[in-house]
Chains A and B, each alone.
Chain A
Amino acid sequence: MNTYKIHYFGMLASQRGLADETLTTNVIVALDLYQQLATQHALKLPPQNVRAVVNDEMVSWSQSLCDGDEIAFLPPMSGG
């Protein structure tokens, strides 16, 4: 089992109802983690509209995760 710190931003934080949480799970791939959370918390954004970030680096959905990683899920950026 790995423990991750998870951060949500923008509309994903609104849909999750919080911005940060700690989760212990046997999931070890970024996409699997997002899909587990999306199912559990009814997140409405499909993975193709979300960017995964591990320890402040953008990663691909196939990224494997390590115990203690900080993982962020980003909806489409909206600057300016």
Chain B
Amino acid sequence: MTAHIQFQLSESPIESSSLAAELHDSAAGAEVIFDGRVRNHNDGHLVERLEYQAYPALALKVGQQILEEEAARYGILRAIGVHRAGLLEIGESAVWVGVASAHRGAAFDALRTIMERLKYELPVWKREHYVNGNTEWVGPDNTSAATGLPKDDNPEWHAGLVEIWISPGNDFRGHHGGPRGEHGIEAVNKVECIAGMGLVGDRYFAYKPDFKGQVTFFDADAVDAVREQFKCPELSGGEFRRNLIVRGVDLSSWVGKRFRFQGIEFEGSEECKPCYWMNEAVGRGVEEFLRTRFRGGLRARILSDGMLRVSR
């Protein structure tokens, strides 16, 4: 590469050190580099890899034009941009832009503008591949892939529903100082959600207005972790007395946020902190174990009616 302003599209990993060397210029007192990498999560979903489909002939033209226009606008000496195409693993560089200018102000400003334009103008399309095997075309900055504008709907969880547990009465809550209740808990294949009320047949149904825990979500990975840590491979997922055991969603990122699951709308309210009953029900140390890494699960309000079903 010899030109001082150059945009490339690459099917192979970005060689950042050789690109950075191309920025050196004896008239440049500032070099600024942006290295955009593939994250393992986006918009609350666990991402396994990212795919960029490109329109190569047009992308080269548009990318080059963006670099040249912004270099001219900000008085940039050198500008190099590379965007990846193809399948990318977590941690790989997806886009790399470096600029060199006499002083830092212009370099920072130009780089910021170039990046914003590349995200919305470069003819490449991003598809997320989720841990659960689903894929989805996504827009930049979590905009809608269909409109390029901020989403007007709440994101759908790409998660599996492993088990549904409902219990007609409280075994722990209200039993402080005495024996646990004997209501038991029942695994069901489907359950009806009623907005503002709860799960039909569950102890917290119509418990009180605007109740934060109309439904509780629990991560199947936390069940697995307890089974392994406390050497109880046969432990039932019902022992945690949470309603919905899900796989493939980072529950910790949904506090205070709205989402859809199987088309039904929910709003995460708070972490479902475990209580000491967990030690009695499952084993010593479980309460403390569940207090870390959001393993206690997510309490949520139900915002729309519908039927949840265990995933096949």
Contact = CB atoms under 8 A, between A and B. Distances in A.
Interface on chain B toward A: helix, strand, loop, or mixed SS? mixed
Contacts of A17: none
Interface residues of B, number: 31
A47 B137 CA distance: 18
Interface residues of A, number: 20
Interface in A31-74: 44-45, 49, 53, 56, 58, 72, 74
A27 B139 CA distance: 31
A7 B57 CA distance: 13
B56 to A, nearest CB: 10
Contact of B57 (A9, A45, A56, A76): A56
Interface of B: 36, 52-53, 55, 57-58, 61, 83, 94-95, 115, 118-127, 137-140, 143-148
A11 B125 contact: yes
Contact of A79 (B61, B119, B127, B147): B119
B145 A11 contact: yes
Interface of A: 7, 9-11, 13-14, 44-45, 49, 53, 56, 58, 72, 74-80
Contacts of A44: 146
Contacts of A11: 125, 137, 145-146
- In order of increasing CB-CB distance, the 3 nearest A-B pairs are A76-B148, A10-B125, A80-B119
